[in-house]
Structure 1
Amino acid sequence: MGKLISPAFTTWPWVKWSEERELDIALRDGDKVWTWSEVSTQTNRYANGLLQQGVKRDDVIVGIAKNCIELIWLQLASVRIGARFAAINPKTPSKQLHQLVTSIAANHIWFGEGQETISGTWHHLQLINAEYGAVAATWQPTRLATLTFTSGSTGNPKAVAHSASNHLHSAAGLLSWLHFDVSDSWLVSLPLFHVSGLAIVWRWLLSGGMLVMPTEQGLLNDLAGVTHASLVPTQLQRILDSGETSQLALKRVLLGGSVIPTELTIAAQKQGIECWLGYGMTEMGSTVTAKRADGEPGVGNVLPYRELRIEEGEVWVKGESLTLGYYRSSGIIDVANEDGWFETKDLGSVINAELHIHGRADNMFISGGENIHPEKIEQVLLTHHEIDNVIVVDVPDEEYGQRPVAVLVSNTGKIPAKLVEFTQDKLAKFEQPIRYEIMPEHLLISGIKISRKLVKEWVDSLPITA
């Protein structure tokens, strides 16, 4: 464990770094770079551009685009004037998109290049590079700053409200253990509409390092000039398989995913890449527990500025990064219980101070009197070399009540052969899926997480065959 990092700022983070590290490179987008001084100036210009378009303090600003430099500027400018920023997945179907922006009473929407627009009561924003000038809003870190929609993997997406203080505490806790300082750079390798992508931005603002935007030249090219990245195991595996790791400056990787093969992290370590993993959620501003990958099944110890307890097998969390609440047009709905704990519905246990996750309480179903946790089946299937992702859902069964069906993302495009034999010594008979399906393309566009709810609806719509 490293030295505890303080999340305290007396002014906007980019202003602090512009004063202390004026000429150091802060931001890179392809061949274009900005120093901290230029980031501070440019943020001010875009903030004034928003004010010129009638944006007011506490207005909700939505950005709809794939990862791009404009989304970074829009977020910084929104926070600078005291507005509330939300990024939304650009692949969201227009009907659902309309529902999401209406649910948070969005006042203004910025659409990225080539993005289909939607009409409503909101104003269509432009990113205007206005004249530099004074902005009245003062630094108030506990004010609501961002809205991040949950993945909706088990239900309808919720808009999770965080302050700058929440985000900075989240970043400070992780970076107290996972080293990232002014000499390092972090690639924005995850979507900014997801909390794990948003968290990268706040780690950058906390540390004063460099933020690097992705290009159209592919992940391997993007990783060539950065020291840190957030990846899923399949991405890291492809990087190692490329045989070009010697050309990378990559020092540390924060891995996400339910199964992280020990062989993968050992191979990465041999190439000088330190692998970290953890457990987190949107409500806690990203990571709650973390550890350097060690081949053991746990997801790490509780990070600074967080607390965790197990209550009747369920994980409860609280801390300085806990959301202000779920944001609705009518106001903020508190997520904590009367003692300040957020009841996650994740099932887990703590063994030797390390958290172990067993599944979701609301995903469990009963088959022939036996409790089935889909996550256990998914973890087994994800160890198969041809399976990149999998969601297990239940289907009705006259004899057993419910039975498991596995919907796969296969790297061959086909259902792997002999899966029954593969699972028979790893799963109890009642846990073995009664059939396998290939994940349809339309279910892969929802973001980092595939929606379990939509997978269930799709499976239920399939014709029953003998």
Structure 2
Amino acid sequence: MVEIRKTVHVEAVADVTFSTWPWQHWAKERPSSVALSFDEQQFSWAELAEKVDEYAKGLVEQGLKRDQLVAVVAPNSVSVIWLLLAILRTGARYVGLNPHLSQQALSNQLALLECDFIWYPAKSGAALDRVQGSKQAGQQALPHRLQLLPPQTPRMVPVTWQASRAATLTMTSGSTGHPKAVVHNAQSHLASAAGLLQWMAFDGEDSWLLSLPLFHISGMAIVWRWLYRGAKLVVASSQDLDVALGKVTHASLVPTQLQRVLENNRASSLSLKRVLLGGAVIPVSLTERAKQAGIECWCGYGMTEMASTVTAKLADTSAGVGAVLPHRELMLKDGEVLVKGKASGMGYYRNRTIFPFSEQEWFATKDLASWHDEELFILGRKDNMFISGGENIQPEEIEKVLLSHPAVDQAFVLPMADKEYGQRPVAIVSTSPELDETLNEDLDGYMKQQVMGLCRPVKYLLLPSHLCAGGIKISRKQLAQWLTEQH
């Protein structure tokens, strides 16, 4: 058994400490500074704190109590921000659910969570149909529906600030097909924010675009960085993201979003200074183009259980994911990544109970990695590996090579049954231009030069668009099911 343990060693920077709700802290420290912006409206920290208190009183009036759970099924909007902060103010717990889920998947998540209340927009369209459909299917009775309203009669919110109280639940991405509900308190969210912002400059005068969904940890982490720093949060609809990117200094993006910004040929005219990239393997050519446009790109490695980022770095030509951030610890045990630290969540939620991630001190991630020159390199997941002709094949290594081809935007490698070799790799890709016979031959020739025979994909298939909707990560389990249906 080989163990390699890494912690961060940097000059200590004092963290911001909070003796009250972060928005109330900033309402005292910077009352007139802009806290929240959407469309043409802006709210100062003082105005935001007052509005959150009013909405919290309204929720209490509707029966919401501390430690109860509210499911929010909605895309990002300013209403969801008000709701998140108001729920926290009451001492209750917030969980965001993907409004693009199928009726069955949404029903399954509601059954797992056993929520006390639910909220969804008045004009939720298909999402509302799915929520109602879960009830009609007889899976379970829907929780009581909350309204985002001020109270009808004056009242108090009898809850004080406790950073250690369970605050949010976030569903894991489900890239392996089985999402879990991860519980965090304010303490772990703020530790996550503090550690990243010791390295990545984000000042009180800066602004961060809420560019990723709040039902994903990457979106939730944006909110806590904003609350930690007391800067400005900019909320925009998915249709207006490109416009909103022109008005902010910081954004969290997936590679395809950054690619769209750069392809619009207006990146140099934006106020955008720094981008935190995640969700996929990041092509070096993309970050180099961003650098030429004056945009500093950061990348790293993270997970829901650790409230987002664990390692980070300024993007460069290395395929590594950087060094360990403050408030995290990381260890490699027989090549597997184990983590712990102040940013760690409280555990998984089921049967209305919080269960620790592990009986051990360290959380085993199932990610395989190695250290080179003080930088972590992710090799792939233990449960993605397959055997072809007696050789262990790690799909992620093949995917990285595919992504180095200029025409490949996204790449996934999965095993396909083979009589002679047991299993052979198949590549599922999205490309520019679209995959055709000529590009197929080009990719085949390219991979013959780059990887050994057993690692060369025996087939190239176009990534189906319906599997790209709604989330940040594409589910390998769903891709495997789709691949099976093709044969």
> Which residue of 1 is the match for residue 394 of structure 2?
373
Offset of residue 395 of structure 1? 1.6
**Matching residue within 59, 65, 76 for 2:74:** 65
Distance verdict in 2 for CA 1:216–1:376, change over 3 Å: closer
Offset of residue 244 of structure 1? 1.3
Offset of residue 296 of structure 1? 1.4
Contact 1:170 1:305 in 2 (8 A): yes
Contact 1:397 1:403 in 2 (8 A): yes
CA distance in 2, matches of 1:130, 1:224: 37
Q: Return the TM-score normalized by structure 1.
A: 0.95
> Which residue of 2 is the match for residue 350 of structure 1?
371
Identity of aligned residues (%): 48
**Matching residue within 279, 290, 309 for 2:331:** 309
Written as runs of structure 1 = structure 2, the 5 A alignment for 1:137-286 is: 137-215=159-237, 217-286=239-308
Q: Are 2:460 and 1:417 equivalent residues in the alignment?
A: no
**Matching residue within 452, 455, 458 for 1:428:** 452
Offset of residue 446 of structure 1? 4.3
Offset of residue 258 of structure 1? 4.0
**Where in structure 1 are there 5+ consecutive unaligned residues?**
none
**Matching residue within 471, 474, 477 for 1:447:** 471
Distance verdict in 2 for CA 1:130–1:387, change over 3 Å: farther
RMSD, aligned CA: 1.6
Greater percentage in helix:
2
Contact 2:254 2:280 in 1 (8 A): no
Contact 1:78 1:85 in 2 (8 A): yes
Q: Are 2:385 and 1:364 equivalent residues in the alignment?
A: yes
CA distance in 1, matches of 2:219, 2:238: 18
CA distance in 2, matches of 1:417, 1:2: 51
CA distance in 1, matches of 2:474, 2:16: 33
Offset of residue 287 of structure 1? 0.2
Question: What secondary structure, in the 3-state scheme, does the structure 2 residue paired with 1:176 have?
Answer: helix
Offset of residue 7 of structure 1? 4.8
Question: What secondary structure, in the 3-state scheme, does the structure 1 residue paired with 2:109 have?
Answer: helix
**Matching residue within 427, 430, 438 for 1:406:** 427
Question: What secondary structure, in the 3-state scheme, does the structure 1 residue paired with 2:450 have?
Answer: coil
Query: Deviation digits for residues 200-240 of structure 1, max 9, x if unmatched?
Result: 00000000000001246543311111000011223223322
Report the more deviating stretch, 262-271 or 92-101. 262-271
Distance verdict in 2 for CA 1:238–1:442, change over 3 Å: closer
CA distance in 2, matches of 1:50, 1:201: 21
Amino acid in the other structure paired with 2:144: H
Amino acid in the other structure paired with 2:350: R
**Matching residue within 88, 92, 96 for 1:87:** 96
Offset of residue 417 of structure 1? 3.0
**Matching residue within 393, 396, 401 for 2:414:** 393
Distance verdict in 2 for CA 1:179–1:40, change over 3 Å: same
Query: Deviation digits for residues 249-275 of structure 1, max 9, x if unmatched?
Result: 111111114432333323322322111
Query: Deviation digits for residues 153-212 of structure 1, max 9, x if unmatched?
Result: 113110010001010000000000001111000001111111001100000000000000
Offset of residue 450 of structure 1? 0.4
Report the more deviating stretch, 351-360 or 178-187. 351-360
**Where in structure 2 are there 5+ consecutive unaligned residues?**
1-9, 136-140
Contact 1:47 1:81 in 2 (8 A): yes
Contact 1:29 1:215 in 2 (8 A): no
CA distance in 2, matches of 1:427, 1:129: 62
CA distance in 1, matches of 2:265, 2:104: 44
CA distance in 2, matches of 1:217, 1:458: 29
Report the more deviating stretch, 294-303 or 203-212. 294-303
Question: What secondary structure, in the 3-state scheme, does the structure 1 residue paired with 2:354 have?
Answer: strand
**Matching residue within 128, 140, 145 for 2:149:** 128
Contact 1:5 1:176 in 2 (8 A): no
Question: What secondary structure, in the 3-state scheme, does the structure 2 residue paired with 1:224 have?
Answer: helix
Q: Are 2:328 and 1:319 equivalent residues in the alignment?
A: no
CA distance in 2, matches of 1:387, 1:269: 20
Written as runs of structure 1 = structure 2, the 5 A alignment for 1:48-63 is: 48-63=57-72
Q: Return the TM-score normalized by structure 2.
A: 0.91
